[in-house]
Structure 1
Amino acid sequence: MPLGESMTACRPETPPTDAGLAPAPGLPGIWTAGAADGDPLVLVHGTRLSALMWDPHARRLASRFRITAPDLPGHGTLRAGGPFRLAEAVTRVGLAVEEAARATGRRPLVVGASLGGYVALAYGAAHPDAVSGLLVQGATARTDGATGLLYRGAARVFGALGPDRAGRLNDRAFRRRLPAESHAAVMRGGLAMPAFGQVVGELARYDFLAVARRCRLPVLFVNGLGDRLFRTGEREFAAAVRSGGGHARLFHVRGPHIMSLTDPAAFTRILERGHALLGPDAQDHAGGGAPA
């Protein structure tokens, strides 16, 4: 039986609306949705994708939340702006956090999926007082270990194929695996295939357990039961946050590594539940932790 808590939805599915992500005026590569009186959420995308992967979620959340989503370096609108670097990615999240706080007058919850989860941890370690907490999905494997080696192999394959052919193969795989709304959102933002190798090489330079130990804030780790690769260090990541003085809980839900894309309705409910856990009583909620 897997360790960790189950995460149940706090309310039924919210039907999607037409209020999707739109460019934030004066902030290239920052996308927003929802009114300023909504609860602020910053959503950080995965590798080779873009902020627009969150459009199906924004359409469900915009009636209650103010969404801000940044393109990371080398991705989306920043594909021609230089290679991916973690420090610059943290700066991009910082711009999104500042935009969300300025628009709503409140500290946002930062949510990161896969690559976005690692970037969210790095942001939280550097700026623990700027946000209400972190929700990290699919980012509890050591990037400087076996997982990094596996992904470096995949990056070499993509490099040998070339960006055009690798992009077509990825598009075909996404078309088969994703619902139409997720596939449309992914392809609207474009696939940044050259960034994949950059991300893999860059993340391998960091010990993210050490990063997690510097996260002195509430962190919810959410992993899919089918995501065996990125669950390998989940207990160690939760323990690392606690050892550094932060609060951590570990949740398991049904789904694969790319659960945010394969079932955006279900992942929206996870975001709502995560926000509820990091509300006014966040310290009490987050302190209990998962079994270790």
Structure 2
Amino acid sequence: MRADGLGDPVTGLTPAPDRPGIWTAGPAEGIPLVLVHGIRVSARMWNPHAHRLAPRFRITAPDLPGHGTQRDRPFNLEEAVERVGLAVDEAALATGRRPLVAGGSLGGYVALAYGAAHPVRAAAVLAQGSTARPDRMTGFVYRTIARAIWGLGPARAARLNDRALQRRLPPDSYRAVMAGGLTMHAFVEVVEDLTRRDFLNVAGRCRLPVLFVNARSDRLFRAQEREFLRAVRATGGYARLFHVPGAHDMSISDPAAFAGIVERGYELLSGARPDAFTTGPEGTSR
């Protein structure tokens, strides 16, 4: 890793030239992969995964609005989808192929929304911990947390989160998360936005192949997993659901396991829809 903590061009995340808030890792010959981060963290959280997945994968990771380098931009789902779109375009231009778009929790919801809005730019979607409707019980739980953060104040909430993450996360993941910073105000903005959305409807509009992955113990975010699966399939879409060991926040609490899920997910999705991964969308050039 470089002394500045940004990694090296092959295995660690580096800023994409002339693309603010977009991070990349791995060679152009790698399998294109867009990774979408979770709530209150940033794209820098993917650095441990980049070290595990590159050079087989060529990774692009965007900072979502309200997070990381984009912390001063208010969060809304439409702009988050646009940020993923910038990353998808970067990945396609760099590799000449459509990328797999993968994310956990908030990142999974945004990846699913991207698939609904843009049915041909990416190859497939992998959504982990993203099969509960935010407008239902999950939203109530997260609105309660958001009110607590509002009462504590973002600065104090960030300090408490820092201590909790330091205890819970492996050292490489903690360093990566903190390198991008915690933006607790984004938690409130995300909850306010997502609890107004019907993500079951979003799933029904997704035309890309979808792999839903849930931790067996993650009862809250498994609440409507079968409904999400049926929603994609109801309109002729390809969707599968898998359960794995771990926790809802496995993308940061167990980066090795999440990297393995991405690798296995790619094998399953590319086997099911090999044509989607072979070439970029019309008009894409290297």
Using structure 1 for the length normalisation, give the TM-score: 0.89
Q: Secondary structure at the match of 1:35?
A: coil
**Does the alignment pair 1:54 with 2:46?**
yes
Which one of the candidate residues 65, 68, 76 is aligned to 1:73?
65
Distance in 1 (CA, whole Å) between partners of 2:191 and 2:14 is 29
**Does the alignment pair 1:98 with 2:76?**
no
Distance in 1 (CA, whole Å) between partners of 2:127 and 2:95 is 23
Pairwise CA distance, 1:260: 1.2
Which one of the candidate residues 132, 155, 159 is aligned to 1:164?
155
Contact 1:113 1:136 in 2 (8 A): yes
Pairwise CA distance, 1:280: 5.1
Show CA shifts across 1:241-273 (max 9, x none).
001221110000000000111111111111100
Contact 1:120 1:136 in 2 (8 A): yes
The ranges of structure 1 where at least 4 consecutive aligned residues each deviate by more than 3 angstroms after the TM superposition are none
- Provide the aligned length of Structure 1 versus Structure 2: 268
Flag structure 1 segments of 5+ consecutive residues without an equivalent.
1-16, 285-292
Contact 2:10 2:54 in 1 (8 A): no
Show CA shifts across 1:83-119 (max 9, x none).
1010000000000000000000000000011001110
Structure 2 residue aligned with 1:14: none
Structure 1 residue aligned with 2:144: 153
Structure 2 residue aligned with 1:215: 206
Structure 2 residue aligned with 1:23: 15
**Does the alignment pair 1:128 with 2:119?**
yes
Distance in 2 (CA, whole Å) between partners of 1:56 and 1:38 is 17
Distance in 1 (CA, whole Å) between partners of 2:56 and 2:11 is 12
Structure 2 residue aligned with 1:86: 77
Contact 1:144 1:203 in 2 (8 A): yes
Of all paired residues, the percent bearing the same amino acid is 67
Q: Secondary structure at the match of 2:189?
A: helix
Contact 2:36 2:43 in 1 (8 A): yes
Structure 2 residue aligned with 1:249: 240
Pairwise CA distance, 1:283: 7.0
Distance in 2 (CA, whole Å) between partners of 1:278 and 1:109 is 9
Distance in 1 (CA, whole Å) between partners of 2:81 and 2:39 is 14
Q: Secondary structure at the match of 2:11?
A: coil
Show CA shifts across 1:104-141 (max 9, x none).
00000000110011101110001111111000000000
Give, as a single letter, the amino acid of the residue that structure 2 aligns with 1:126.
Answer: A
Give, as a single letter, the amino acid of the residue that structure 2 aligns with 1:227.
Answer: D
Flag structure 2 segments of 5+ consecutive residues without an equivalent.
1-8, 276-286
Q: Secondary structure at the match of 1:279?
A: helix
Q: Secondary structure at the match of 2:46?
A: helix
Contact 1:24 1:32 in 2 (8 A): yes
Structure 2 residue aligned with 1:193: 184
Matches for 1:37-52 after TM superposition, within 5 Å: 37-52=29-44
Distance in 2 (CA, whole Å) between partners of 1:244 and 1:151 is 30
Using structure 2 for the length normalisation, give the TM-score: 0.91
